[in-house]
Amino acid sequence: MLSVAEIRRSLRGVWLLFFGRAEGLAALDRSVEGFWRSFAVIVLLLPLTAISVLAVTRGDPDRAFTDLLFQQLPLMALDWVTFPIVLALAAKPLGVAAHYVTYVVARNWAAPITGAILTVPLVLEGAGWVPREGASFLSIVALILVLRYHYMILRIALKTPVSLSIGLVIADFCISLLLIGLFG
């Protein structure tokens, strides 16, 4: 189970990574046990997912909150593990096996921050503070921020060159889009 101290320390660490500060990695438990425990961070995404779904259903009354929530949860869990599995299979050929655990731990702990960034435009639209067009624009800005953040995590945690980092960000994004297309 994740302790409040570990959550606070780890989120502080990945917040530093958001700004490109490699010392953020020191705040993360990058042991094998910390690697497996980092997958429990998905629990911190549940409130963000519920808020996002609530915001979407407020903007579209034909969609039921519980139906959409229970549709999103399995997709979220599948997306949560797919890229780490794909990268684990490709880590040795890509030359990143030595830093794989560090990357996955950082990626998992960064998820609440990326989730919050992506949730803001939905909440603004769902609350009626921003029209749909404005929320769409803000969603694109949020997505760009999140992709940049993933790039920073890859560069810092995996110690990959620019081209490989960009390729891995694109691969992760495409896998998520594929999963949404298949199951969303």
Structural domain containing residue 62: 4-183
Number of structural domains in the chain: 1
pLDDT tens column, 80-131? 999 999 999 999 999 999 999 999 999 999 999 999 999 999 999 988 899 9
pLDDT tens column, 126-177? 888 999 999 999 999 999 999 999 999 999 999 999 999 999 999 999 999 9
The CA distances from residue 25 to 84, 130, 159, in Å, are 18, 36, 12
